Structure 1
Amino acid sequence: MTDNNEKPDLNKHGGENGKLMRSATYASVTVAIILICIKLMAYLSTNSVAILSTLVDSLLDMVASVINLVAVRHALVPADHDHRFGHGKAEALAGLFQSAIIAGSGVFLVFQASERLLNPKALDSSNMGIAVMVVSIVLTLFLVTYQRYVIRKTRSVAISADSLHYVGDVLINGSVIIALVLGGVFHWVYADGLFAIGIALFLLFSSWKIIRASFSDLMDEELDDGERTRIIDLVKAHPGVLGIHDLRTRRSGQQVFIQMHLDMDGSMSLHEAHKISDDVEQQLMTEFPEAEAIIHQDPIHEAAPSP
């Protein structure tokens, strides 16, 4: 393992990432509260279940964002005596809780939309509803843009899931505008219920994606093939490494854990083998700043060439 004085200083890196992740969660909660207020006024004015569905979705956004805020703060707590691998899986646990809430709301909206299809009603004040949806889209796009910036810097699982949900909100709000135009302008009374069902199905689909991502983290799924290939190529590029085997990887929140066995010339000294391992770990930490590597050295005794 690399000596502490040879490792890159990741405390500053982690601190900057933590500030970005926290600011993204605060922004998410703030936007959700604003959207709840304006959508509530729009629903009371229009009596549209499509707007009701987006209001429910914004309520869930706030709940999910608050959960993310708490999960991110806990996940950023450094490893301690009782949690030697850190607290990163708090993000995945929060994701499972979010997915349960989102799935429940999707089922609720299916029932509400079905009732509206059976008993269609004309929409009122569609212009106000459209204006509210446009404002919602603009606010959400600003939030998603900032979240994408944070994701590029931190690769946070929690922020990625939250951003995906808000991207869905943009699509949902756009579909509500269409429903309001069809119902309020063209007097197609079934548009409201049909689009509400579409939104409910989208919520259920989003819930399933969050469940998959959370289980991937909780079940210690390997990094994707591209990242594993990068690790193997980087390790093999070192002239002192003859081969690599038993590569194991997993992700836990921000943290990535890498384990491997390196094949080295069995005739070299322990000091030389340790130095090569340090060099490899240093390169891995440069390529994957959030990683922690555990390297085992295996001596290889090559047969002497034939005379």
Structure 2
Amino acid sequence: MAAAVQPRLAPAEAAALTRRITLASTCVAGLLVAIKAAVWAISGSVALLASAADSGLDLLASLLTFFAVRYAAAPPDAEHRFGHGKAEAFASLMQAGLVFASAALVGREAIHNLLEPHEVRQEGLAVAVMLVSTVMTAGLIAAQGYVLKRTSSVAVAGDRAHYATDLASNAVALLGIGATALMGWNGLDALAALVVTALLLWGAVSVFREAASQLMDRELPPAERARIVELVTADPSLTDVHQLRTRASGPYVHMQMHVDLDPALSLQQAHAAVVAAEKRILAEFPSADIIIHPDPRGAAEPHGGAFAETPLGKRGLNEDLRD
């Protein structure tokens, strides 16, 4: 029995959700940049400066995501027959680059202030700003988590990784500023900024890996692949799904497969069985682009091409579903 799979939303519903969450992300980032920059100018906290710089690049990343999800949801055209979904993955790659840049700038400033500590002013105000930032960021992450459960958007996932890192960095900066205020050692503020740098680097690597997986056409998770096979073979006239290939492209899912049918069926009967299988898949994967190639059971010739069946038969690409 295949594991339960969360049904995907129709393209229009998924696009509406991603548009709303990316708009919320952009607004939150803009507000945090303004607040942190203003209070940094008053307090001089390098930890707060690190957090403000991070939020500034998050604003740019959120703007990229804001436009990317809209472009990715555009329908196929004459030059992009598979749609524009990979725009989301490209946006995530740019997000990763921005986070790497943010980590470099923050790390440089932290090391400079660790070697030459300076006084942090208005610690109470800086602490208050970080508390507000932490609450706002936590709320946005919760909303993004809800959207991700429904859409699996790699662009929103990248944006959420930014803010998850922000949440951790806010907590670290808050500890650094608070420790500086209580203990009077300004170096703690710079050490907190170094920890923020490490968190930024970790977040950038995670975003890069997720985007690269989609750009490299990584298969859907095994549970979803198994569910596709289960939906196709719900009709006993369709058996032995093989050469199943799947990939995600932004809000869309592309899948192709071969399936065995009774060779005694007429062309019309075989077509009807395949169309019915496509409808079953679309009920749970409404954004899917599906190609099903019927083979006469027991009488099919091996297929050639760049991704031909292996000499071992119909294994290889489907071992994760059969073992």
- Give your verdict on TM over 0.5: yes
Shift of 1:134: 0.7
2:30 counterpart (24, 30, 33): 33
Pairwise mapping of residues 20-169 of structure 1 onto structure 2 (< 5 A)? 20-169=17-166
1:122, 1:183 within 8 Å by CA — same for their partners in 2?
no
Aligned equivalent of 2:259 = 262
2:29, 2:55 within 8 Å by CA — same for their partners in 1?
yes
Aligned equivalent of 2:279 = 282
Give the letter aligned to residue 270 of structure 1. L
Instruction: Give the match's secondary structure for 1:86.
Output: coil
Aligned equivalent of 1:253 = 250
C-alpha distance in 2 between matches for 1:173 and 1:201: 13
1:106, 1:201 within 8 Å by CA — same for their partners in 2?
yes
Query: Which structure 1 residue ranges, 5 or more long, are not aligned?
Result: 1-9, 303-307
Shift of 1:39: 0.3
Aligned equivalent of 1:188 = 185
Give per-residue Cα distances to partners, 1:239-289, cap 9 Å, x unaligned.
Answer: 111211100000100100110000111111111111111111111111212
Shift of 1:104: 1.4
Give per-residue Cα distances to partners, 1:217-237, cap 9 Å, x unaligned.
Answer: 111111122211222222233
Shift of 1:84: 0.5
2:95, 2:159 within 8 Å by CA — same for their partners in 1?
no
Shift of 1:122: 2.9
Deviation larger for 76-85 or 145-154: 145-154
Shift of 1:148: 2.1
Give per-residue Cα distances to partners, 1:105-135, cap 9 Å, x unaligned.
Answer: 2112111111111112232211111100111
C-alpha distance in 2 between matches for 1:95 and 1:56: 19
Aligned equivalent of 1:236 = 233
Give the letter aligned to residue 189 of structure 2. D
1:242, 1:265 within 8 Å by CA — same for their partners in 2?
no
Give per-residue Cα distances to partners, 1:159-197, cap 9 Å, x unaligned.
Answer: 121112112211111111110111111113221111111
C-alpha distance in 1 between matches for 2:234 and 2:17: 34
1:267, 1:301 within 8 Å by CA — same for their partners in 2?
no
Deviation larger for 54-63 or 214-223: 214-223
Query: Which structure 2 residue ranges, 5 or more long, are not aligned?
Result: 1-7, 300-323
Query: Between Structure 1 and Structure 2, which shows a larger proportion of helix residues?
Result: 1
1:110, 1:200 within 8 Å by CA — same for their partners in 2?
yes
Runs of 4+ in 1 over 6 A off after TM superposition: none
The number of residues matched between the two structures is 292
Instruction: Give the match's secondary structure for 1:260.
Output: strand
Give per-residue Cα distances to partners, 1:48-80, cap 9 Å, x unaligned.
Answer: 111011000110111000000111111011001
Give per-residue Cα distances to partners, 1:72-93, cap 9 Å, x unaligned.
Answer: 1110110011111000001111
C-alpha distance in 2 between matches for 1:237 and 1:226: 16
C-alpha distance in 1 between matches for 2:13 and 2:218: 27
Shift of 1:198: 1.0
Aligned equivalent of 1:6 = none
Give the letter aligned to residue 127 of structure 1. G
Aligned equivalent of 1:7 = none
Matched-pair identity in %: 39
C-alpha distance in 1 between matches for 2:256 and 2:140: 37
